[in-house]
A and B are shown apart, each in its own frame.
Chain A
Amino acid sequence: MRLTDDEKAILAGEAGPARQWAIRHQMAVGQFFDAPDFVPVGQAHIMADTESLGEAGVAWLEELAALRAPERRVRVPTITDPRGLDPGSYKRLRQTDAMAAIEARAIAAFEALGVLMTNTCINYQTVLPPVRGEHLAMGDTGVVIYSNSVQGARSNFEGGPSALAAGLTGRTPRYGYHLDGHRVGTRHFQVRQRPRDLADWGALGGIVGKATNSYWEVPVVGGVEGWVEGPPNSDELKHFGAALASFGSVAMFHMPGVTPEAPTPADAFAGRPAPQAVSIGAGDFEAFYAGYAAAGDKVDVVVFAAPQLSLIEMQQLAGLIDGRHIHPETSLVVTTSPEIKFAADRMGLTARIETAGGIVAAGVCFYQSYAREMAEANGWQRLLTNSAKLVNIIAGYGYKPTLASMERCIDSAVAGKIV
């Protein structure tokens, strides 16, 4: 890789051992992916919940945190993905004090590095939205796909160590989605039916993701233009992108007429001939839901998460639950970012949800917060959610997931069984 004088100095250890580790790590990854050089990044975003970090990861962070301040502080704004535990709600979710203790150690280490504990996977809605052409080192698949596709920014999936390395050096290797050549559409889909709600948008992401199934493919989703209801909003694209990234490991999509790098289908394919489009209609949605159906089953836990809820979703949820009571044998968990939780508290939304029996947790996203241990401690198995991403990943933690609209999720939470 070509290095600038500043990068050579970092590599020589002149900026301390943390930055020297960081650039060595980044060069190894960059050479693996044939990066010609580095590109400066505007932000880094670290996925580092304590369940993933483990004792080894936390101890490693603490070693960095023990360095002198000039040697350990990040160089660009560096923020965090949801954490393993919310201090405000962990006892109600039957998480343990041992989990809280290791969480506190990780937070102290990150704060010593100058990392801002935003604890959110909806930073593109709530912290500092990425800008078209801006290079980033984002560490959550849903954040990467939204930043690349909806905002026209440029990021690869950056795992926790790589995102932290980018924060420390202020740059990342120029490969993958930093390069024009990787951002061209390679697969083609045509939507025949407008998704009705957020669960449907997630289902659409799941359908396209299963069919695409590669980090290196860029699906182009046509048919979205010209709907009388208008284009999808940010929450709809959030659920679509999160599911697409989860089911397909996909980091970028184009939606001609909606996303900024594809005003037309021809732009999406950069003038190359478009592949034959795969049609997606009502039958595809029905089959997707049918794969998780469990009507009549007792529901143990209803979860709204993955991604965290926006303020608008919090209001929708509060509106559906007003004056009702969650069934005594069913739990209802809602996750959002600390900033949205603060706003929801201030505007009375949290109180409306919790009066009905729900738990609003801040700075977590359910599946990253010891989901298996929560299932065992609470006796949860059947899980109902409106997040297609969550139904894809949570089965690995011993849950039986079902996908339904927000309305059906609330009706089921009240009934105690899937309606």
Chain B
Amino acid sequence: MPIVLKCHRGLGPAVTGTALVAQDNFSARYDLDRLKGTFSRPAHKLCGQSYVGRILVLQTAKGGVASAWMLREMAARGLAPKAIVFDRTNTILAQGAAFAEMAMVDRFEAGDPTTLIRTGDEVRIEPDAGLVTILNRD
């Protein structure tokens, strides 16, 4: 039986992909090299890693209002994550995901998703149902 995690109703389409997890936060403006599709802030735990096509699992959204434009712009250039899973997001990243039509979920019943999902897990996100399924583990 795959592991099923309940969360709050999310945003965007249902997607399946490979997780990239860190106990760290996310700012589209300050943490990323958006031209290369990698984390670039030296202090970030995922520095140097590509987020393109991955399901990012992080703790909270940081940074300024500008991030609301950026997810869509990243998606338009084909250099965006497939989905973002937060423990708790802020308004700006939620608005940015809505604008980009990107999958985003947060507020898990079982606690912080960065402790529940591991890098490399195959994960199914169903935002409308508020469900995240870890497909490769029992």
Contacts and interface: CB of A to CB of B under 8 A. Distances in A.
Contact of A56 (B30, B60, B76, B92): B76
B65 A141 contact: yes
B47 to A, nearest CB: 13
A342 interface: no
Contact of B73 (A47, A53, A396): A53
Given A28-B11, A29-B98, A159 B72 contact: no
Interface string A18-50: 000000010011011100000000000001110
Nearest to B77: A56
Given A28-B11, A393-B30, A157 B66 contact: no
Given A25-B99, A29-B94, A158-B95, A49 B66 contact: yes
State the main secondary structure of chain A at its contact with B. helix
A249 B94 contact: no
B67 interface: yes
A159 B30 contact: no
Interface residues of A, number: 37
B115 to A, nearest CB: 19
Contact of B68 (A56, A60, A161, A396): A161
Interface string B19-51: 000000000011000000000010000000000
B40 to A, nearest CB: 9
A396 B34 CA distance: 13
A32 B11 contact: yes
Contacts of A31: 9
Contact of B95 (A51, A140, A162, A215): A162
B69 A57 contact: yes
B136 interface: no
How many chain B residues sit at the interface, stated as a range, is 20 to 34
A156 interface: yes
B30 A57 contact: no
A105 to B, nearest CB: 15
Contact of B66 (A52, A60, A156, A246): A52
B91 interface: yes
Contact of A160 (B8, B69, B98): B69
A216 interface: yes
B94 A57 contact: no
Contact of A33 (B64, B72, B77, B91): B91
A49 B70 CA distance: 12
A147 interface: no
Given A53-B69, A54-B69, A161-B99, A393 B64 contact: yes
Contacts of A25: 95, 98-99
Given A28-B11, A56-B76, A396-B30, A161 B66 contact: no
A389 to B, nearest CB: 10
Interface in A244-281: 246, 249
A368 interface: yes
Given A47-B66, A49-B66, A393-B30, A159 B11 contact: no
A357 interface: no
B90 interface: yes
A122 B116 CA distance: 43
Contact of A176 (B10, B11, B66, B91): B91
Given A56-B77, A57-B73, A216-B88, A28 B98 contact: yes
B7 to A, nearest CB: 11
A307 interface: no
B92 A157 contact: yes
B6 interface: no
A305 to B, nearest CB: 14
Contacts of B118: none
A114 interface: no
A139 interface: yes
A81 B68 CA distance: 14
B113 interface: no
Nearest to A248: B62
Given A32-B9, A54-B69, A368-B66, A159 B88 contact: no
Given A160-B68, A161-B68, A396-B29, 12 more contacts: A25-B95, A32-B11, A32-B104, A48-B69, A52-B70, A54-B73, A57-B72, A141-B65, A157-B65, A159-B95, A160-B65, A393-B64
12 contacts: A29-B11, A32-B10, A47-B64, A53-B69, A56-B76, A139-B65, A141-B65, A159-B67, A159-B95, A160-B66, A160-B68, A162-B98
